Amino acid sequence: MTRRGFLQLIAAAAAHAQAPARTATEREEIIIPDFASSGYILDLGGGCRGTIGRLKGEQVVAIDISMKELNEAPSGFLKILMDASDLKFPDKSFRTVTDFFALMFMKSEIHQKVFAEAYRVLAPGGEWLIWDASIPARAAGEDHSFLINLHTRLPKETIDYGYSVQRLDFNRDPAYYRALAEQSGFQIATVEILGRNQKAFFMRLHKPE
């Protein structure tokens, strides 16, 4: 290699080292304003960080299939060990259901049952508020893991954390969840793509009166 070629190689390596990394570790900013709700709020998969519980406090009934995740969640709201696909609440028990990055961890085989159960326990006119990840299908030659790091802004605090799951053979994106919602009887009120890298979304579902 010539001296000139060697110097060009060194310069390129230095520029690469100094360039800001744009990888899956970038944090997606999610802003959750305090939302109006009456009565208790059912939070599906509400263990671990307990984001909705932090926001709405004693209004929240957080269910999770993992006792470990429930124990890790902060205090200040009710926590119950329960499967989101087999809710033990009576019909029309809640005016609001929430999901904060929980659907992404549930097996796709139970998603339709989860949507049906959420619809069942919602009172007519109630809403399901969903914040979740838009996960692309896996492709040959690509990493099959999906990582999303969040910078979540609540009115009184900010939380940083990340989630990782395996990609499947199909997209788990707003269109996928919208189809499940409509099959269950929900009306789609809002769909918003969130974050700089568009890895997250917000969906507001309405149960007709």
Q: What is the mean pLDDT of the chain?
A: 90
Average pLDDT score over residue span 83-110? 98
> What's the confidence (pLDDT) of residue 20?
37
> What's the confidence (pLDDT) of residue 13?
39
Q: How is the chain split into domains, by residue range?
A: 23-206
Alpha-carbon span 134 to 176, nearest angstrom = 9
**Which pLDDT tens digit goes with each residue over 6-34?**
334 334 434 433 433 334 458 899 999 99
CATH for 23-206, options being 1.10.10.10, 3.40.30.10, 3.30.70.20, 3.40.50.150: 3.40.50.150
Q: Which stretches of the chain are DSSP H helices?
A: 3-18, 51-56, 67-72, 111-121, 174-184
Give percent of the chain with pLDDT exceeding 70: 88
**Which pLDDT tens digit goes with each residue over 118-162?**
999 999 999 999 999 999 999 887 889 999 999 999 999 999 999
Smallest Cα–Cα separation from 160: which of 148, 172, 143? 148
> What's the confidence (pLDDT) of residue 131?
98
**Which pLDDT tens digit goes with each residue over 29-59?**
999 999 999 999 999 999 999 999 999 999 9
Q: Using DSSP, state whether 88 is helix, strand or coil.
A: coil
φ/ψ bin of 129: left (φ > 0), alpha (ψ from -120 to 50), beta (otherwise)? beta
Q: What CA–CA distances, in Å, run from 22 to 12, 19, 82, 86?
A: 17, 9, 38, 40
> What's the confidence (pLDDT) of residue 25?
57
